[in-house]
Structure 1
Amino acid sequence: MSEWMPIAVLMLSVIFFLGSFWVSRRRVVSAKTWQAYLANLHSPKAMVSESDGSILYANRSFVRLFNISQHNNSFHIDGDRERKTIDTLLANRRWPLPFIEVTPDFRSGFDKHARRNARFSGLPVWCNGQRAWIVSLEPESDSVYSEPFVENDSQIFRSVINSLAELVCFQDRQGRIVGSNVAFDRFWKGREEEGVFFSAQEEIEGRRTQQSWTTNPNGDSCLLETSQTVLRDDNHVIYGTLSISHDVTNWHMMRQVMEQEIEARQEVEQQLKKHSNVLTSIFKASVDPIGIYNKDYEFLGGNAAFAEAMGAMHDDLEGEHAADLMDPEILAQHQKIDHPVLDNGETIKYEDLVMKRDGSQVWYELTKTQFSDPTDETIGVLVIARDVTARKATQQELADAIMELEELSFVDGLTKVANRRSFDEQLVKMWQSHIREQEPLSLILCDIDYFKPYNDNYGHQQGDEALRRVAQVFQNVIRRPLDAVARYGGEEFAILLPSTTEQGALVVAENISHELTLAGMPHAFSAVSEALTLSQGVATLRPQAGQDYGDLVSMADRALYRAKNAGRDQIASASQTVKETV
């Protein structure tokens, strides 16, 4: 008997291990089998490792609910809040004891602010030799976690929805937001409750539309038009609504403008119809030209003054065509001007010179307005003209006076050359242009020698004549268009020579002295000559940015002072010695 005991123990051990292996194989299901099973379920389900709480597999609804990213066969929870939620749900759960309970405060991937209630349950399973939980979230409402149009691919559907510019929002039967597109989230960010136009307390049946004023993310007022459609399942049971909103502000404003235009035109038509007899009387009695023609430029009426202004040989223009009365070029000009009147209903006003029957020319101020014939809705142009010939003449006289006054304000009245004010302005302009062009700018300051004795002995009238003749000498020598001669003050003159070197300016100064000698104006009271002479100071600078143009004037003034101290009738430059006038 004792001989069989070891064999019996061995056989029992083999049977025990084979049985344990068979039982474990019956309890273990492969990961692929679980994934295939869970993937076909619409409610959120996932397989979670019992040891570390990692996600072994999650179906599409669970991925959306808990913000889970998937790379190949690896699942990762992206949000800290979702990670804490799963850890909290599985805390203190003892495997292999299944559980089920109602858990509040779940939030969907579409909307992070809508509260959810669901039945949370866990089923202990073996998967690939390790312990795991099959976690299930069964919503209290059938539509809490269901995706719209689940029969289509959700990623494609969500891409299409997010590409829309309209604001798209899904609400469940209780009025809570369960889904929205990017445009909705961007528009209502931070104020999602304002985007819900229909509440759970309202009866939702069929389709309805409403308009409401709100503000866009930029703070501008806008008018939203929202259409809500009821969503039904296969059994025609309402499980939520689809709302689509779009901005109709521009359309609303355009409609208001159009309504105002229509009202205005209708009022004009009524007034025309009511006062047609009055208008006919006004046409005949008015001395101002008044006429009407349609878009084909056929005259529908007009008074005698209008017919005369048109150059017609008779006063009755009704039924006549403008092409038979007007020069083609003039008619083409009128047609071009009338485009905004006929096309857009604008009122335009302009002035035109018209030749009348007797050959006289008259300036008219024309006002053109669109009119519409209330009988056949024909549009055309109403013209009212006013004779403004006298006003145009007055305007021209005023313009001439202003030009003369402006000329006087820049011209020395005695010598007819530029005055000091004009000189200063030209110096500033030339200074800036020479800074840009890096060209030399020269200035000559001239002073008539012993002019006070000349005035005292020959008289002021002869002194004025001497100033005029000296100014004429300057203008005879200075001939370039941009050169400027100015009376600087009293008997002192200034000459600006743009793009001129100091050597060139000295040549000009010598030519002036030579020309003045040829003029031979007697001066018996001069200490240097028997004729009128000049002292001249020449300065040249190549202006630089930040340099004051007053430096050039100061240099020329110092050169003039040196010429006077050297005995007068001299030419001195800022860089050369005093040169006697030949």
Structure 2
Amino acid sequence: MIDIEAKPGLDGDVYRTLLESTRAIPWKIDWNTMTFAYIGPQIEALLGWTPESWASVQDWIDRMHPEDRAWVVDFCVAQSKDGIDHEADYRALCKNGEYVWIRDVVHVVRDADGAVEALVGFMFDISERKRTEERLLNLQRELERLSFKDGLTGVGNRRCFDKVLRNEWNCAQRSRQPLSLVLLDIDYFKQYNDHYGHIQGDNCLKRVGALLDSVASRPRDFLARYGGEEFVLVLPETDAQSACRLAERCRELIEQSRMPHEKSKAAPVLTVSLGVGAVVPDMASEPLSLIDAVDRALYQAKTQGRNRVAMAEPS
């Protein structure tokens, strides 16, 4: 295998020692023959392949992960033809069948006429960096997931509700399908907290959240804690009658759970009041109009005696 030429003023052995003492792996490819003129002995410690086994560019290609191969080769060849120095990250195959993340830093060498003569560069093992990046990405995803989750009940939080409602509103505008909203409030929850204590109050909210979650069974049905003792259901492609039936199931399910509530004026057990609204939104309307209508319906259910479902006036 041909050696990399020594730099002016440096003894060849000294130059080789400098190259081969680094953790980076130096290499050189002759452009006309597409063969390796040199590759550092460090390659064997990293990948298991001896320097002598790196004869041509095809060896480099064959020892690349199949998912990375096409784009890396196309990119590097195009950049090299244009005489542009470049970098590429890819997974390199080890002799034992495992893969290591490599960063190739490439410099294009031209002859006196400006034609590409050779490629020289360094390979760097970036596996640890990639593992760190993956851990950080997973952590970021987990933090994002938690940021949309109510810490007490485990259902969606208000921030997540705002996002889901906006997305479903846009879908309903495009598809001209109805979108329904159910807003639910636990009856006399302040009195429940005062009588049973905040720990039992938290347990009550968790149980209500779990019961409601069992009703929102379709893939796009969405449940969130709207605030305090209020929960909200977003029901895509659901008309007013269907939403009312589901709201009534929610009311019955919670009443039939028979959670004691001695201080309630509605019943001796825990109950809820619900407001329901449905709309086929036009392109000029906003989700706030539906929220306001459902909130008024909830207020109506409360003023009529609680433990009941009230329907918003059609807009």
TM-score (normalizing by structure 2): 0.84
The structural deviation recorded for 1:481 is 2.2
For residues 91 and 185 of structure 2, the distance between their equivalents in structure 1, rounded to whole angstroms, comes to: 54
* Residue type of the alignment partner of 2:106: K
The structural deviation recorded for 1:415 is 1.2
Choose from 41, 54, 62 the match for 1:304. 41
Choose from 230, 240, 243 the match for 1:505. 243
Larger relative contact order (C-alpha < 8 A, sep ≥ 6)? 2
Give 1:284's aligned residue: 20
SS at match of 2:191: helix
For residues 366 and 498 of structure 1, the distance between their equivalents in structure 2, rounded to whole angstroms, comes to: 49
Q: Is the 2:65–2:91 Cα contact (8 Å) retained in structure 1?
A: no
Partner deviation per Cα, 1:311-342 (whole Å, 9 max, x = no partner): 41x34557x34556873775964643431244
Distance 1:541 1:322, change over 3 A: closer
Distance 1:276 1:425, change over 3 A: farther
Q: Superposition pairs for residues 219-368 of structure 1, below 5 Å?
A: 277=12, 279-295=15-31, 296-312=33-49, 314-316=50-52, 320-321=55-56, 323=58, 327=62, 333=70, 335-357=73-95, 361-368=99-106
For residues 340 and 280 of structure 1, the distance between their equivalents in structure 2, rounded to whole angstroms, comes to: 30
SS at match of 1:503: helix
Q: Is the 1:537–1:571 Cα contact (8 Å) retained in structure 2?
A: yes
The structural deviation recorded for 1:360 is 5.8
For residues 436 and 361 of structure 1, the distance between their equivalents in structure 2, rounded to whole angstroms, comes to: 46
* Residue type of the alignment partner of 1:457: H
Relative to its length, the structure with more helix (as a share) is: 2
Q: Percent same amino acid among aligned pairs?
A: 32
Q: Is the 1:294–1:378 Cα contact (8 Å) retained in structure 2?
A: no
Q: Is the 1:309–1:354 Cα contact (8 Å) retained in structure 2?
A: no
Q: Is the 1:455–1:463 Cα contact (8 Å) retained in structure 2?
A: yes
Partner deviation per Cα, 1:230-263 (whole Å, 9 max, x = no partner): xxxxxxxxxxxxxxxxxxxxxxxxxxxxxxxxxx
* Residue type of the alignment partner of 2:285: Q
Distance 1:315 1:369, change over 3 A: same
Q: Superposition pairs for residues 183-582 of structure 1, below 5 Å?
A: 277=12, 279-295=15-31, 296-312=33-49, 314-316=50-52, 320-321=55-56, 323=58, 327=62, 333=70, 335-357=73-95, 361-371=99-109, 379-575=117-313
How many residue pairs get aligned? The number is: 304
* Residue type of the alignment partner of 2:38: G
Partner deviation per Cα, 1:176-224 (whole Å, 9 max, x = no partner): xxxxxxxxxxxxxxxxxxxxxxxxxxxxxxxxxxxxxxxxxxxxxxxxx
RMSD: 3.0
Distance 1:325 1:542, change over 3 A: closer
Relative to its length, the structure with more strand (as a share) is: 1
SS at match of 2:277: strand
Distance 1:283 1:412, change over 3 A: same
The structural deviation recorded for 1:370 is 2.2
SS at match of 1:488: strand
Q: Is the 2:61–2:73 Cα contact (8 Å) retained in structure 1?
A: no
Distance 1:382 1:471, change over 3 A: same
SS at match of 1:569: coil
TM-score (normalizing by structure 1): 0.47
Q: Which moved more, 1:380-389 or 1:554-563?
A: 380-389
